[in-house]
């Protein structure tokens, strides 16, 4: 791994309140596409409303997650360890990162989901149906947003982004994160700790993340190099979309891959979030689209496959600058 200075986000604990862009998908497509492009350029995260995903699909999967995380520890451990798929506790990946969470990581593939459900649920078929219905809804939503991005960027082939996750060999995954309320330590502990990390600072490596959480806060994003963390208010009825590193590369840095973290909740209820990570096939090449490359805007990274970048992501620690590995000459 190439040594790099810590980003400002990792050196500061300051926070500020800033409104996260909200996009109404029921508006005229030309308006929506422009709003999404602007949000991707300036924030790398935005909330969508009027998204068309039935509440019943979301609530069924949330109920399955609540049921699983409510099991005794020994029963949950039967679904682990996460290598990388399965149940994990506190250890995030294989590189020493830790957080105040437990999680389920599943490949968004019906055969993999069905196989894993045997150790996750007392009713495997029910869990499989709930997970696959949710995955299909998220794939459809992600594809629609990515097509709108193509339109907003005036790309002739508007499905150039969405076809990556629609591919039958797509490497997309589904993840549940559960952050139990952390008890204060010691008889003199008062108030709430504001900086106990649930999940450390990182950017998502995939193309696009769709995140949904319950009504408990904790998610924060960091913009630019000002070292300020922005709280993202929870909204159980809507979805947040987060740009990943792969889409940043495809647009030659025009879009921001938002750095984010989750703080542990030390004075309230537990937080559970569900993420759909839309990713291309392992052998798909990640390289800027030709229309974005010019003498004034050269390639920032050499072409690489999603499989190569995924391997780099899994072998690095949270917050590491993984894309530095793919700069020309390295």
Question: Which contiguous run of DSSP H or E holds residue 47?
Answer: strand 45-49
How far is the C-alpha of 169 from the C-alpha of 305, rounded, in Å? 14
The one catalytic residue in 116, 212, 259, 271 is: 271
Q: Is 315 in contact with 2 (CB distance < 8 Å)?
A: no
Question: Which contiguous run of DSSP H or E holds residue 32?
Answer: helix 29-42
Active site annotation includes 271: yes
What are the tokens at 329? 């000459």
Q: Is 258 in contact with 42 (CB distance < 8 Å)?
A: no
In Å, how far are 92, 102, 322 from 9, measured between CA atoms?
19, 24, 16
How far is the C-alpha of 143 from the C-alpha of 161, rounded, in Å? 8
Task: Please compute, for residue 156, the number of CA atoms within 13 A of its CA located in the half-sphere on the CB side.
Answer: 4
Q: Is 133 in contact with 56 (CB distance < 8 Å)?
A: no
Alpha helical stretches, state H, 52-191: 55-69, 73-77, 110-120, 124-152, 162-166
Q: Is 277 in contact with 175 (CB distance < 8 Å)?
A: yes
41-275-100 Cα angle (round to 5): 105
Looking only at the bridges linking them, the beta strands covering 22-24 and 45-49 are: parallel
Enzyme catalytic residues: 271
């Amino acid at each position: 791994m190439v040594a790099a200075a810590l980003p400002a986000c990792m050196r500061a604990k300051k926070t500020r309140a800033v409104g996260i862009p909200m996009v109404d998908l029921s508006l005229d497509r030309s308006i929506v596409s422009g709003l999404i492009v602007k949000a991707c350029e300036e924030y790398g995260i935005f909330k969508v409303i009027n998204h068309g995903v039935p509440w019943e699909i979301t609530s069924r999967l949330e109920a399955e997650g609540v049921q699983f995380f409510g099991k005794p520890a020994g029963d949950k451990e039967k679904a682990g360890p996460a290598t990388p798929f399965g149940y994990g506790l506190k250890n995030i990946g294989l590189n020493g990162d830790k957080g105040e969470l437990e999680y389920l990581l599943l490949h968004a593939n019906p055969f993999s989901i069905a196989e894993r459900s045997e150790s996750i649920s007392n009713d495997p078929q029910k869990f499989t149906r709930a997970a696959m219905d949710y995955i299909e809804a998220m794939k459809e939503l992600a594809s629609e947003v990515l097509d709108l991005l193509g339109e907003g960027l005036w790309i002739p082939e508007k499905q150039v982004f969405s076809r990556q996750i629609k591919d039958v060999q797509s490497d997309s995954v589904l993840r549940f994160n559960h952050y139990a309320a952390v008890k204060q330590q010691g008889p003199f502990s008062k108030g709430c700790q504001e900086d106990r990390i649930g999940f450390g600072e990182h950017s998502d490596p995939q193309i696009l993340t769709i995140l949904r959480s319950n009504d408990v806060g904790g998610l924060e994003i960091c913009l630019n190099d000002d070292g300020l963390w922005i709280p993202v208010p929870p909204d159980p009825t809507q979805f947040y979309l987060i740009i990943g590193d792969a889409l940043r590369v495809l647009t030659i840095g025009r879009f921001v891959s938002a750095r984010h973290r989750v703080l542990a909740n030390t004075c309230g209820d537990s937080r559970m979030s569900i993420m759909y990570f839309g990713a291309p096939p392992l052998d798909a090449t990640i390289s800027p689209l030709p229309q974005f490359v010019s003498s004034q805007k050269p390639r920032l990274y050499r072409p690489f496959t999603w499989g190569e970048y995924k391997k780099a992501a899994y072998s690095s620690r949270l917050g590491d600058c993984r894309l530095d590995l793919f700069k020309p000459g390295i």
